Amino acid sequence: MAKHETPFLDQLETGPWPSFVSDLKQQAEVRAKNEANVEFQIPVDVVEDLLGVLELSFKHGRTHWKHGGIVGVFGYGGGVIGRYCDQPEQFPGVAHFHTMRVAQPGGKFYKTEYLRQLCDLWDFRGSGITNMHGSTGDIIFLGTTTPQLEEIFFEMTHKHNQDLGGSGSNLRTPSDCIGQARCEYSCYDTQDLCHNLTLEYQDELHRPAFPYKFKFKFDGCPNCCVASIARADISFIGTWRDDIKIDQEAVQAYIGGEIPPNGNAHSGRDWGAFDIQKEVIDLCPTQCMWMEGKTLKIDTKECTRCMHCINVMPRALRIGDDRGLSMLVGAKAPILDGAQMGSMLVPFIKAEPPYDEIKEVIENIWDWWMEEGKNRERLGELMKRQGFQKLLEVTGLDPDPRMVQEPRSNPYIFWKEEEVEGGWDRDINEFRKYHKR
């Protein structure tokens, strides 16, 4: 017999998609039975109360969680988010229900042995409810009490060689795409760069000293599977500078219908026979491809590496060998002043350990933002406020037309005195000799 009636939530148990309500209910039951004899350190009926408070929100159309509260582990300013229920008498099991962010491994690969260790820890000292994973990328432990926070951190670091992730005004846990681990498009080792920078900047990640949050995201190619260009203060997008490698035999196999286009991604519908002219050449945004007889030609110099042709014919076309990445900066979601896409700052940089050149760009940007950024001002907003020129100045990078969509359409250039011959000091009396009042 469930502790709370949940007529609204019960309606989310039907339908094919995995029901989180069914999952929560099974978890409540497992805890109640406790066949594994766990010495639960937080209330055994925590999940029942979670279902209860969620049901109440479905009834009221409003959340029942209070504004945060400052909780954490000693020496860290992030990784734990305080959460309290606003109906603690009715739902004592979730009166304190703090979140812990657990830094995820690159590519989100796991051994089950390790996942089971995390489950054991979280059943013992928390609700057993998680997010796999949170939006930023962390494993999220959802719901424990204040006295358990240090205990969980101690066990995590001592037994599982595992740290917390970021929250608050600091470097958020960086995240990456699957990259070279299992993708033929990846132009650099996203997991290695992500891990390297994560370790390099542990201090920035755990001890908030920034004006606001700061995100790194690593996409191996311009397909951008982790959406870095939309949400990372610095987005690292793989690219290359030389020729797309062409296997002309495989091109013919696509044309002849022996290989399905786009990795068979359109198999559920009859789109007619594959037409390389219509589906690849005509859709190329720079029109840099053509057929010469049975040979596919690409004018590399004109290619902007949009990935379309490679996506359509992955067995015939491969990324080039002179690989690296582009760094785009300043992306953010709408709050406050509207959404911003990442803007191109470094068109091409090699991505090889120890990544010193990349770190130099990052640290120059941080020095500027920490000095000039206002409270809760994202990098993108500071860029808008102080201008792209300022960004060039602080990073010491040379201007490049690749950084802009188009040149400015107003002539309101903020010339600096040293840029104008003779400076700005002039003699009005000298001027008046030739120009009467």
Partner 1 sequence: MAFISSGYNPDKPMENRISDIGPRKYDEFYPPVIAKNKGKWLYHEILKPGVLVHVAESGDEVYTVRCGGARLMSTTHIRELCEIAEKHCDGYVRFTTRNNIEFMVDDKSKLDPLVTDLESRKFAAGSLKFPIGGTGAGVTNIIHTQGWIHCHTPATDASGPVKATMDVLFEEFQNHRLPAQLRVSLACCLNMCGAVHCSDIAILGYHRKPPMLDHEYLDKMCEIPLAIAACPTAAIKPAKVEIGDKKVNSVAVKNERCMFCGNCYTMCPSMPLADDVGDGIVLMAGGKVSNRISAPKFSKVVVAFIPNEPPRWPKTTEAIKHIVDAYAKGANKYERLGEWAERIGWERFFEKCELDFTHHLIDDFRDPAYFTWRQTSQFKF
Under the criterion CB under 8 A, does residue 101 sit at the interface with partner 1?
A: no
- Quick one: which segment of 19-27, 386-394, 395-403, 421-429 binds partner 1 (CB under 8 A)? 19-27
Q: Which of 144, 169, 223, 395 binds partner 1 (CB under 8 A)?
A: 223
Residues 378-437 that bind partner 1 (CB under 8 A): none
- For the CB of residue 384, give the shortest distance to partner 1 in the complex, in Å: 10
Residue 47, both tokens:
């999940």
Residue 300, both tokens:
């590399």
Under the criterion CB under 8 A, does residue 144 sit at the interface with partner 1?
A: no
Cβ atoms of 214 and 170 within 8 Å: the answer is yes
- Quick one: which segment of 265-273, 293-301, 358-366, 413-421 binds partner 1 (CB under 8 A)? 265-273
DSSP 8-state class, residue 353: T
* Complex with partner 1: residue 65 or 394, whichever CB lies closer: 65
Q: How far apart are CA 354 and CA 377, in angstroms?
A: 30
- Quick one: which segment of 173-181, 343-351, 393-401, 419-427 binds partner 1 (CB under 8 A)? 173-181
Residues 47-76 that bind partner 1 (CB under 8 A): 47, 50, 54, 57-68, 74-76
Q: How far apart are CA 151 and CA 161, in angstroms?
A: 14
Under the criterion CB under 8 A, does residue 151 sit at the interface with partner 1?
A: yes
Residues near partner 1 (CB under 8 A), total = 155
Q: How far apart are CA 197 and CA 188, in angstroms?
A: 14
Q: How far apart are CA 122 and CA 120, in angstroms?
A: 5
Kindly provide the b/e burial profile for residues 174-196, where b requires at least 16 CB atoms within 10 angstroms of the residue's own CB.
bbbbbbbeebebbbbbbbbbbbb
Residues 105-134 that bind partner 1 (CB under 8 A): 105-116, 118-119, 122-124, 128-134
Under the criterion CB under 8 A, does residue 198 sit at the interface with partner 1?
A: yes
- For the CB of residue 20, give the shortest distance to partner 1 in the complex, in Å: 4
Residues 335-364 that bind partner 1 (CB under 8 A): 335-339, 341
- Quick one: which segment of 35-43, 294-302, 355-363, 426-434 binds partner 1 (CB under 8 A)? 35-43
* Complex with partner 1: residue 59 or 294, whichever CB lies closer: 59
Residues 282-311 that bind partner 1 (CB under 8 A): 283, 285, 305-308, 311
Q: How far apart are CA 129 and CA 341, in angstroms?
A: 34
Under the criterion CB under 8 A, does residue 34 sit at the interface with partner 1?
A: no
Q: How far apart are CA 24 and CA 343, in angstroms?
A: 42
- For the CB of residue 197, give the shortest distance to partner 1 in the complex, in Å: 10
- For the CB of residue 100, give the shortest distance to partner 1 in the complex, in Å: 12
* Complex with partner 1: residue 319 or 349, whichever CB lies closer: 319
Residue 169, both tokens:
């005004």
Burial of 38 (0-12, 13-18, 19+ CB in 10 A): middle
* Complex with partner 1: residue 262 or 364, whichever CB lies closer: 262
Give the position of tokens 């657990």.
102
Residues 235-254 that bind partner 1 (CB under 8 A): 237
Q: Which of 265, 277, 290, 400 binds partner 1 (CB under 8 A)?
A: 265
Residue 382, both tokens:
């500071």
Cβ atoms of 323 and 240 within 8 Å: the answer is yes
Give the position of tokens 């509207």.
338
* Complex with partner 1: residue 252 or 364, whichever CB lies closer: 252
Under the criterion CB under 8 A, does residue 319 sit at the interface with partner 1?
A: no
- Long-range interactions of 194-203: CB distance < 8 A, separation 24+: 194/106, 194/218, 195/106, 196/353, 196/354, 196/355, 197/355, 197/358, 197/359, 197/362, 198/103, 198/173, 198/174, 200/359, 201/171, 202/163
* Complex with partner 1: residue 178 or 345, whichever CB lies closer: 178
Dmax of the chain from CA atoms? 101
Amino acid at 242: D
Under the criterion CB under 8 A, does residue 46 sit at the interface with partner 1?
A: no
